[in-house]
Structure 1
């Protein structure tokens, strides 16, 4: 009926607005990158490679990163000369924090 058509029209308008805003943001990002490259580097940092991390470490230093997912825990260890990672399933579900 009419309500369904109105709903479909509203969805089309909203998708158009979203696409327009995404294009506008892409333009702003491009202008920022061109005018302020250092800001763009800081705002959109790229992850370091293992080799990049190792280059920053002294012989007696290391980096340990743990990430708890819904039903797994991931662990990364990086030393000056080697690295390793592992994952383990948890024995019970982690509590939902939402």
Structure 2
């Protein structure tokens, strides 16, 4: 695991890396990001409609194939609930976009 990957583990996407507690918050709902440049991060999906969750997310990152572009993450149908409290699904890396 390289330094960038270590920084991402257990953090919530969009939370500042200098935040003293960049992890999940009680009462929030998360998708675990798997694969790709944001592997190990959690995405806060609190309040997302079921259709929005089904569509997945295009997340800005400097770590992907296109620095300053987006990494695409989508759920897989029928996959079991996430690995931790508050994590309701996994979004899997499906590619990068400029």
TM over 0.5: no
The structure whose RCO (Cα within 8 Å, separation 6+) is larger is: 2
Into which bin does the TM-score normalised by the smaller protein fall? under 0.3
Q: Considering only CA atoms, is the larger Rg found in Structure 1 or Structure 2? A: 1
**TM, length-normalised to structure 2:** 0.24
- The structure where helix makes up a greater share of residues is 1
